[in-house]
């Protein structure tokens, strides 16, 4: 067989050679050790939390070596294409600080010297490499129909090795004349690899995450080009990651079973294989077992969920690092105030079997992140969120943004800030009593505070409350009224002789707190009182007094 003649028959219009493309996309001029990684989504428009996770791992892998991170869109399956998907996905990533250095940066918009970065625009490139494989006798056209392939599948049901190989690879050795005749008759063909693999052969590689791997080598004549000339994932992966000079392929571990195909392709194409880092899927605990985080079952599988709930991106990033690197939390304890970029991310510290998603943990991490934010930032971020997802909160904020910020500043910016807020959607309930519009009175008391005590306390306090007090004056004033209502200002004294008092200063405060906020546990009551303002304070004290009088 004259392979050149066959290659010309199959690809008459392809005149560029692999050498032309090698020259067009030369090795990158990067410093030693700089890694080139990519994110290669199909344009479905849905960003799974697992995609974000893998993408962040890929991004960090490049960034911590001053390398390059690029985005390539794998849009060869036109059926799965969704309009506007790329914009949505890129926006989803940018929220988490992932901005590609190169590649697709917008809908039909790209930058960089290694493009095009949309696979649909690379057809001629794939075909040039395919043609070259044919010229070397390493690939051949296969005319098997879908029915024939189904028959083979059925016949192989009990075979240990499946797929198109050995006797099943029926069109491996067709003559040039037969091929030419079939093509002339308009028969559709796919291009298959002529795999040199054998059933005994082994494939070895060292995965950056999973470690040393040994698998049977590939012996299937896998499809390289489909009948429409569009490459399969396998072939496009080899050609693209080589020409785009990817050094580290970070991808989901569902691809690990195909790695023998990929390594074989790299070899036959004469490319240096990249390093692989196969990321295990994010898992979720269910009924004592584990399963993959599922788009269908788990709302938190969608990256949009976090924006809707109002988890700040910093929290999600921080949480992802706890999932990604086992030593992250130790690092965080030692470096409480360092920005995340300083964390020395390491692929070798990734979980081999799949990190467990834990909402309680995310909530905890996020509370820690938010409690350290200055009030202005909490206000700004939660206002942005509210404008989109909670207009009622935005409207409350807009009454007086300085007051809203001051409310968010209560018990913040001190050594032990409170951790009430895990996500912006916690805020409406958190500060509902600070606005008359959302205040819901509740006069339930705790401790020694009884309705009878409440009446005495409120009758007194309503006359003496003074919003001009300093914090010390305010507290002295409350302590000062204790005796007149049968309580002691001294908790210790109360504990030594409880029978002698109706309660202590804490109980007196509880009455005031419940009257003003409807709650028994709030941040600093002094600040709350000040920010409520005289009119509201007096009105709420009076309403509570009336309530307890009636209850008595």
Binding footprint of ligand GLU on the chain (CB under 6 A) = 40-42, 74, 237, 251-252
Residue 279 or 505: the one with the smaller Cβ distance to ligand GLU is 279
Residue 121 or 183: the one with the smaller Cβ distance to ligand GLU is 121
Cβ 290 to ligand GLU, closest distance in Å? 22
Per-residue burial over 385-406, b if 16 or more Cβ lie within 10 Å, else e, is bbeeebeebbebbeeeeeebbb
Nearest-CA neighbor of 52 among 353, 309, 339, 295? 295
Residue 201 or 252: the one with the smaller Cβ distance to ligand GLU is 252
Residue 72 or 530: the one with the smaller Cβ distance to ligand GLU is 72
**439 CB neighbour count, 10 Å cutoff:** 16
- DSSP E strand boundaries for 409-533: 487-488, 503-504
Helices 3-10 and 176-184 sit at what angle, rounded to 10 degrees? 10
Cβ 117 to ligand GLU, closest distance in Å? 13
Residue 207 or 469: the one with the smaller Cβ distance to ligand GLU is 207
Q: In what order do the strands lie in the sheet with 68-71?
A: 36-39, 68-71, 102-106, 109-111
Question: Residue 451 — φ and ψ, nearest 5°?
Answer: -55, -35
- Distance CA(282)–CA(362), nearest Å, equals 14
Cβ 292 to ligand GLU, closest distance in Å? 14
Rounded (5°) CA angle 515-414-384: 75
Cβ 255 to ligand GLU, closest distance in Å? 6
Cβ 213 to ligand GLU, closest distance in Å? 17
Give the DSSP H or E segment for 213.
Answer: strand 211-216
Cβ 45 to ligand GLU, closest distance in Å? 13
Residue 275 or 419: the one with the smaller Cβ distance to ligand GLU is 275
Cβ 57 to ligand GLU, closest distance in Å? 11
Cβ 81 to ligand GLU, closest distance in Å? 12
Question: Residue 212 — φ and ψ, nearest 5°?
Answer: -70, 135
- Distance CA(440)–CA(436), nearest Å, equals 8
Cβ 252 to ligand GLU, closest distance in Å? 6
Residue 116 or 451: the one with the smaller Cβ distance to ligand GLU is 116
Cβ 260 to ligand GLU, closest distance in Å? 15
- Distance CA(155)–CA(43), nearest Å, equals 36
Residue 276 or 385: the one with the smaller Cβ distance to ligand GLU is 276
Residue 237 or 284: the one with the smaller Cβ distance to ligand GLU is 237
- Distance CA(508)–CA(491), nearest Å, equals 11
Contacts of 97 (CB under 8 A, 6+ apart): 313, 317
- The conformation of residue 280, written as its DSSP 8-state character, comes to P
Token pair in block for residue 365: 């991490």
Residue written as tokens 């202590």?
A: 504
Residue 252 or 428: the one with the smaller Cβ distance to ligand GLU is 252
Residue 234 or 390: the one with the smaller Cβ distance to ligand GLU is 234
Residue 71 or 193: the one with the smaller Cβ distance to ligand GLU is 71
- Distance CA(181)–CA(367), nearest Å, equals 71
Cβ 50 to ligand GLU, closest distance in Å? 10
Cβ 59 to ligand GLU, closest distance in Å? 13
- Distance CA(491)–CA(494), nearest Å, equals 5
Token pair in block for residue 532: 């409520």
Helix H, strand E, coil C: the string for 257-289 is HHHHHHHHHHHHCCCCCCEEEEECCCEEEECCE
Residue 92 or 518: the one with the smaller Cβ distance to ligand GLU is 92
- Distance CA(199)–CA(28), nearest Å, equals 38
Q: Assess contact for 414 and 515: CB atoms under 8 A.
A: no
235: helix, coil or strand?
Answer: helix
Cβ 251 to ligand GLU, closest distance in Å? 3
Contacts of 552 (CB under 8 A, 6+ apart): 451, 452, 455
The residue whose Cβ lies closest to ligand GLU is: 251
Q: In what order do the strands lie in the sheet with 190-193?
A: 139-142, 190-193, 223-225
């Amino acid at each position: 067989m004259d392979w050149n003649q066959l290659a010309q028959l199959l690809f008459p219009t392809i005149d560029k050679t692999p050498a032309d493309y090698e020259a067009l996309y030369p090795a990158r001029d990067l410093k030693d050790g700089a890694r080139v990684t990519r994110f290669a989504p199909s344009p479905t428009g849905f960003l799974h939390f697992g995609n974000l996770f893998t993408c962040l791992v890929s991004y960090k892998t490049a960034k911590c070596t001053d390398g390059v991170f690029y985005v390539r869109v794998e849009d060869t399956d036109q059926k799965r294409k969704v309009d506007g998907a790329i914009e949505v996905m890129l926006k989803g990533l940018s929220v988490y600080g992932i901005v590609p250095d190169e590649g697709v940066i917008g809908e039909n918009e790209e930058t960089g010297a290694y493009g095009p970065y949309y696979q649909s625009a690379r057809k001629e490139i794939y075909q040039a490499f395919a043609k070259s494989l044919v010229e070397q006798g390493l690939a051949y056209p296969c005319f098997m129909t879908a029915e024939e392939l189904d028959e083979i599948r059925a016949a192989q049901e009990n075979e240990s090795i499946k797929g198109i190989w050995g006797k099943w690879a029926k069109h491996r050795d067709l003559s040039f004349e037969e091929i030419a005749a079939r093509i002339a008759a308009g028969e559709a063909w796919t291009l298959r690899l002529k795999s040199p693999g054998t059933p005994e052969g082994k494939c070895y590689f060292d995965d950056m995450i999973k470690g040393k791997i040994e698998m049977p080598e590939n012996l299937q004549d896998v499809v390289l080009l489909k009948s429409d000339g569009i490459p399969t994932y396998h072939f496009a992966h080899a050609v693209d990651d080589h020409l785009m000079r990817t050094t580290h392929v970070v991808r989901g571990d569902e691809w690990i079973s195909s790695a023998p195909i990929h390594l074989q392709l790299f070899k036959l194409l004469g490319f240096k294989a990249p390093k692989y880092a196969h990321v295990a899927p994010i898992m979720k605990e269910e009924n004592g077992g584990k399963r993959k985080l599922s788009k269908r079952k788990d709302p938190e599988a969608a990256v949009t969920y976090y924006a809707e709930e109002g988890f700040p991106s910093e929290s999600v990033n921080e949480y992802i690092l706890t999932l990604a690197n086992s030593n992250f939390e130790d690092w965080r304890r030692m470096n409480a105030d360092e920005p995340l970029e300083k964390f020395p991310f390491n692929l070798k510290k990734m979980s081999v079997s799949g990190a467990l998603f834990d909402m309680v943990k995310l909530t905890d991490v996020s509370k820690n992140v938010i409690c350290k934010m200055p009030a202005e930032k909490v206000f700004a971020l939660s206002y942005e969120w509210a404008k989109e997802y909670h207009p009622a909160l935005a409207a409350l904020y807009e009454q007086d943004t300085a007051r809203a910020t001051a409310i968010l500043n209560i018990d913040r910016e001190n050594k032990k800030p409170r951790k009430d807020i895990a996500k912006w959607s916690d805020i409406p309930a958190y500060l509902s009593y600070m606005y008359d519009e959302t205040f819901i009175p509740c006069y339930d008391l705790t401790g020694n505070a009884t309705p009878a005590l409440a009446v005495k306390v409120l009758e007194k306090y309503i006359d003496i409350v003074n919003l001009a007090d300093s914090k010390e004056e305010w507290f002295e004033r409350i302590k000062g009224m204790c005796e007149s209502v049968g309580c002691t200002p001294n908790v210790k004294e109360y504990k030594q002789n409880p029978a002698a008092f109706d309660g202590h200063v804490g109980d007196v405060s509880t009455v005031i707190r419940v009257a003003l906020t409807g709650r028994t546990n709030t941040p600093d009551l002094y600040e709350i009182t000040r920010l409520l303002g005289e009119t509201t304070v007096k009105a709420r004290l009076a309403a509570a007094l009336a309530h307890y009088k009636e209850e008595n």
